[in-house]
Amino acid sequence: MDPYKQRPSSAYNTPFWTTNSGAPVWNNNSALTIGSRGPILLEDYHLVEKLANFDRERIPERVVHARGASAKGFFQVTHDITHLTCADFLQAPGVQTPVIVRFSTVIHERGSPETLRDPRGFAVKFYTKEGNFDLVGNNFPVFFVRDGMKFPDMVHALKPNPKSHIQENWRILDFFSHHPESLHMFTFLFDDLGIPQDYRHMDGSGVNTYTLINKEGKTHYVKFHWRPTCGVKSLLDEEAIRVGGSNHSHATQDLYDSIAAGNYPEWKLFIQTIDPDHEDKYDFDPLDVTKTWPEDILPLQPVGRMVLNKNIDNFFAENEQLAFCPAIIVPGIYYSDDKLLQTRIFSYADTQRHRLGPNYLQLPANAPKCAHHNNHHEGFMNFMHRDEEVNYFPSRIDPAHHAERYPQPPALYTGKRERCVIVKENNFKQPGERYRSWTSDRQERFIRRWVDALSDPRVTHEIRNIWISYWSQADKSLGQNLASLLNMKVDI
């Protein structure tokens, strides 16, 4: 008997998914929500267990976004949006707020080259007078999956093979062949934009849908977009090989050297908004992160500018220990029922508590710069000096009291508990539109990258056929070109 093959029976013998305690899992794709689009319930034990286990897989390197670079600067409001939000740091043109920004690659390890084809993280921490606001996103405006239940499996597929520790296309294409919602994200990843020239020359997006609330309590769904003033530039495949071969930290060095030389990177912040009362008028769900909001009907509205004018003082303290979480918001900004955002609210903070400890928000890079007070104390690595005798609430001795109430979305929810996908999937329209917007040479490069990926010898005929079918539904000529180059026929 081989002792290395012994595993818990519940993980080895059953032909179906179970929880760690052995309970059967009948749906491993959808989180438990109130109705088809309502918020996720904390009682979804399988989801919480799945995310909590996933968040603890790596010590101490980040599971995703391990390779990164940071810089500091300020955000300045340039346009009045007080009709949309009561957030203090957005109240008046000219107001400045300190920020720290972390750029990163997503899938690859901490020492990996910064020229690999991969999404880029774009996370901004605003140190506002009402507490921190973490706007955590990527350089692409969409994502691979719309439900956070799929996130651990997605990352596992994108990560190296656990047997060989080699990232392999057949694993990626196998997983995503079950999720046609990923097509839109692949039109960004396999496009020329898939390898940014450096961190200064790329867009940023909040990806998720948030909610803005004004003083009267009126709400709007919102998406956040960063646009670099120096323009978007990318590396073609041959350039990436050359640049990465000479300097595997080229983007980090470019960011550091540019700031040191006084060539400060700058981005403009824009928003798109939707009145929740009008969300059903579109052919997509505004809370679906695999979709963009068309700018011709939902135009970009300018908000402000961000300038990075100071390099970090210490890489470990202000990059490795810098921690973001989409749950960290301020009055005037709230969450939406975006299914991916709802899971990120839990998962990001949970992974940082595991990685950095329960008091990670006391670390200087993560701590708010405004006065703050609560009864959280003790625990690992707690270094806050406290001399209070009262550490409970309420108290007739301690004068601390509730803060002034601020508006929150007053949504009323009804519905039955269920695990389901959103109704308006519409997986193929936007990928096809994006492909057709490109020049012919850009289309050809996209096709070639897909032919290379689908030519992996371990990609089965079935999986190859599924991808040709998907791309044919997005754009008939795209599917035909792929089929021709792969010596296959289109079978929709």
Residue bearing tokens 């006065």: 371
- CA angle, 309 then 315 then 318, to 5°: 70
- Of 46, 108, 138, 250, which one is the catalytic site residue? 138
Would residue 94 be called left, alpha or beta, if left means φ above 0 and alpha means ψ between -120 and 50 degrees?
left
Q: Is 138 noted as a catalytic residue in this protein?
A: yes
CA distance 90 to 97: 9
Q: Is 65 noted as a catalytic residue in this protein?
A: yes
The answer to whether the CB of 55 falls within 8 A of the CB of 351 is: yes
Q: How far apart are the first and last CA of the chain?
A: 48
- DSSP-assigned beta bridge partners for residue 219: 213
- Residue 29 makes CB contacts below 8 A (sequence gap 6+) with 147, 149, 150, 419, 421
Three-state SS string over the chain comes to CCHHHCCCHHHHCCCCCECCCCCECCCCCCCEEECCCCCECCCCHHHHHHHHHHHCCCCCCCCCCCCEEEEEEEEEECCCCCCCCCCHHHCCCCCEEEEEEEEEECCCCCCCCCCCCCCEEEEEEEEEECEEEEEEEECCCCCCCCCHHHHHHHHHHHCCCCCCCCCCHHHHHHHHCCCHHHHHHHHHHCCHHHCECCCCCCCEECCCCEEEECCCCCEEEEEEEEEECCCCCECCHHHHHHHHHHCCCHHHHHHHHHHHCCCCCEEEEEEEEECHHHHHHCCCCCCCCCCCCCCCCCCCEEEEEEEEEEECCCHHHHHHCCCCCCCCCCCCEECCCCHHHHHHHHHHHHHHHHHCCCCHHHCCCCCCCCCCCCCCCCCCCCCCCCCCCCCCCCCCCCCCCCCCCCCCCCCCCCCCEEECCCCCCCCCHHHHHHHHCCCHHHHHHHHHHHHHHHCCCCCCHHHHHHHHHHHHHHCHHHHHHHHHHCCCCCCC
Bridge pairing between strands 301-311 and 68-77: antiparallel
Catalytic residues: 65, 138
